[in-house]
Amino acid sequence: MTGSQRLVARVFGRVQGVGFRWWVRTRAEELGLVGWVANDPDERTVSLVAEGPPELLDRLEAMLWQGPPSARVERVETDRHPASGEFAGFQIARP
């Protein structure tokens, strides 16, 4: 994945029980990104890892602040790293 990056994000707020993981997976697949998304055990956050071109990760990162209609995002923490190339698609992971 030459030129690709890894976005590591944690989304805080009302993001569990509102379809947030499914929404993230759909957005990531639409953008052609690979990785995973999962509910965190604390019941208030969702974590995700996405890999792809930086400009598409920027778009996903901006979308995370909105989420699906029933979500209420309070904060998004992100970090960027070089892509690992370990993913073949985008999955919903179990905590």
Name which of 41, 39, 40, 45 is nearest 21 in CA terms: 39
* Rounded Cα gap, residues 2 and 85, in angstroms: 9
Contact 80, 2 (CB under 8 A): no
Catalytic annotation on 21? Answer: yes
Q: Which of 6, 25, 27, 39 is catalytic?
A: 39
Q: Which of 6, 21, 25, 27 is catalytic?
A: 21
Catalytic annotation on 6? Answer: no
List the catalytic residues: 21, 39
